[in-house]
Amino acid sequence: SAEMMETSGGPYLNIAAVASPVGVARLLQVAFGCTTFSLVAHHGGFSAAYGAFCMFVWCFCFAVTIFITTCEFTRLHSCMSISWGNFTAAFAMLATLMSVTAAVIYPLYFVQFDCHPISCKVRDFRIAASVFAGLLFIAYVVEVFLTRAKPGQVTNYMATVSGLLKIVQAFVACIIFGALVNDSQYSNYVATQWCVAVYSFCFVMTVVVVAFSVTGRTAMLRCPFERVVVIYTFMAILMYVSAAVIWPVFCFDSKYGSPWRPFQCSQGKCPWDSQLVIAIFTYVNLVLYIVDLAYSQRIRFVSHP
């Protein structure tokens, strides 16, 4: 009957999408994100690449969170040919990293506690925006905490520690690339060019792993997906070990570079600074890949939506 047809499919709207703990966290993300960029756009102001980056982060995270919440509330995500659980887990981790970066950069470059040369009103708006940027970061951390894989649970790959670490590895690689293009003089030696090849290869492969997971195409691989990921992670560790040895030698050994920051270097325009940033984050990513390999030995996940 017509009545049976109306009721058999269940409700069209998914109330749990906004009433569950994860749903509440996403609503807070929307509220805090909107408040942050509204305060900055209204009176706080922003300038230069740092300010533009912060505004991009807040607007991007706001737009994607609205999209995710709308799709879950209307059940529209069931019509999409992607692994929704992997997509939301990957975005939550990415948004956490982006929002913490913006929450540190904006107050660092734009907040000052005296009213000169800006007005007290502008200062107050910038302080308020910084507070809400911090709250936004906390809201994304809460979502990652709530949706992460529990021990022994069969879940989406991107919700596991190994999957979340893939996002962090890609993010750290982006920081390395930013330092590389900021006059790092990597082209001076073949050895440092090898390091750039290592960073690029591992970044591309990590993005491919994430893309396969999010699109739900892991079943297309001839080998089991988890085996491919473990083999790649082991290769990445070996390659990063080589970069972790080569980069500092060719940048900070007195035969090739300078062990100390040159006196004539201007602030923000010094190749030595970029080389130091790259060295630090090379070791950060090496540790992340090692932890990733350790966790990937004991995870179970579903390889399709």
Q: Which long-range contacts (C-beta less than 8 Å, at least 24 apart) are formed by 247-252?
A: 247/192, 247/195, 247/275, 247/278, 247/279, 247/282, 248/279, 249/191, 250/188, 250/189, 250/191, 250/192, 251/192, 251/275, 251/276, 251/278, 251/279, 252/279
Partners of residue 155 on adjacent β-strands: 301
Task: Write down the residue that tokens 């970066």 correspond to.
Answer: 101
Residue length of the chain: 305
Q: What is the pLDDT of residues 194-233, one digit of tens each?
A: 999 999 999 999 999 999 999 888 777 777 888 889 999 9
DSSP state of 42: I
Q: What is the pLDDT of residues 31-61, one digit of tens each?
A: 999 999 999 998 877 888 889 999 999 999 9
Q: How many CB atoms within 10 Å of residue 49?
A: 7
Q: What is the pTM of this model?
A: 0.87
